[in-house]
Structure 1
């Protein structure tokens, strides 16, 4: 099969298209024919050598969509079944989705029913499920106001679209470091785009729900804008900072809540609930850019570009 292999850290050029052996099925694992996968910032960190637990050579890719090609669980995962997979060591502990086929543990292969195209479905798993789970943890269903910190990222754009479906009356504020992206934010449903300057959102407003995607670098500032009884869900690490310096629990406003979300907690039911929400509300999940397998390196560069807005996918 063809696969994109990384043998050493580096830029996009470190991702090399090669002919490798198609994995052989083993007990508890099934072979998935990959029809599409999204590019994620965590994979860029790994490509750059910032994931010391990942050993090279490796086929990256922490998410993928496709069809069962060979199965060890014909009842749950019959050949030809449309499936998705996210996380669980995929592309890190074992080879992932940057390939024509991926051998994956049955426990993290989720059958799905959807009318989405492969390109659209490929844009959904990690990005939209991360947004969906984070919105649930931030109690957006009960919120009057929501702040999405890092709103122009793939997860940020997905969160804006999903939040309006989950709570049509919620008023959404979205932050960005670039004022020229205000119109794009408005177009996807953000009510009030605002600037994030020097790690501070340029507003005096407070919010019932906050989705923190920039991460540890800005979470203290986000907490200062959280209403009593509100929820701030720390999910992302766009700033590539993983610890909060000089953090004290007393920085959490009295009566407010700080929580987090990881897409590693995905279940088949939760994922299909999200797909149903997307289908019923005709949510636009179309990726911003698509590439073929030979240009996966270019796809990672596209996601890393300053003018990027939305999700990048590869269609093998």
Structure 2
């Protein structure tokens, strides 16, 4: 039963909020190429289908072992799995080391597999499998401020030009941090405190927002729309048009509600800052000025940069 695996969550409302562990100031995570971030997303992002034909996305963030069973944990937006009366289908990524022709496995998700978190639009979903799936790494959303590159991954609903359900990975940058805006007087925003320019569509709600080191720094779930006083009949939204700015819930909101995530559900954490000196075998990419590149390293240059982008590839039991 799912409630047996997530007992600590039921104590969230009355527990003391605990800050994430302090980060070693000289440790850095290496930024990687966008295509490599996208490949990690493809291994960890799931699709969650509702009986009415709508669906959302989510990301695998943990695994716990119960005997010879693997219980995988998916973080998504609560509104994706909001109705406890419905039975959902979770479409997982292809298992590690499997053939590209192998169909993606499906899992039945009911109310006992879903835990809605308080005060934010987040939910944990579990599924059981003896297959081995990749697990994403959680980063530190405190380092993701205005101008930071971010990527959103998920499965949007089919459109006119793309009539099939296809994994989409879009890049952009953080445009605003609403949790740091003193003029932001809204009493409740359901946790949606980070805004970015990445293109999103219906169906991508619940999908991860990655930083430049492929770590999960937010959960996507909302698109900003213009407020219009007159109805534009030419718009399919009746006058409400997307602005191009979208919003997510910083991952630190989840960690504050669930500080024991590392030990209880097998979450992988790397809360270090990003080093944006991106390299591959051909050398430095996007930084031709050596003096500028040197300035990017604000810490001890003799300390090796930690690569935290490799997903969990534990062997099958």
Coarse TM-score class (shorter-chain normalised): under 0.3
Structure having the higher helix fraction is 1
